[in-house]
Amino acid sequence: MRVLVDTNIVLDFLLQREPFFQEAEQLFQEIDSGRVVGYVTATTLTDIFYISRRHTRSVSLARQAVSETMTAMVICPVNRAVLESAFRSGLVDFEDAVQIACAVIQGLDGILTRDTQGFLNSPVPVLSIHELLQRSRAQDR
Task: For residue 27, give its domain range.
Answer: 7-140
Give a yes or no: residue 2 inside a domain.
no
Give a yes or no: residue 29 inside a domain.
yes
Give a yes or no: residue 90 inside a domain.
yes
Confidence of residue 141 (pLDDT cuts 50, 70, 90): low
Residue-wise DSSP of 67-126? HHHHHHSEEEP--HHHHHHHHHH--S-HHHHHHHHHHHHHT-SEEE-S-GGGGTT-SS-E
137 pLDDT more than 80? no
**pTM of the prediction?**
0.92
77-124 tens-digit pLDDT:
999 999 999 999 988 889 999 999 999 999 999 999 998 877 888 999
Identify the CATH number of the domain in which residue 37 sits.
3.40.50.1010
Q: Please tell me the total count of domains within the chain.
A: 1
Give a yes or no: residue 81 inside a domain.
yes
19-32 tens-digit pLDDT:
999 999 999 999 99
Give a yes or no: residue 1 inside a domain.
no
Residue 115's pLDDT is: 83
40-73 tens-digit pLDDT:
999 999 999 999 999 999 999 999 999 999 999 9
- Output the CA–CA distances (angstroms, integers) from residue 109 to 4, 28, 60, 122, in the order listed: 8, 17, 34, 12
Give a yes or no: residue 120 inside a domain.
yes
Residue 66's pLDDT is: 96
Cα separation of 118 and 109, whole Å? 18
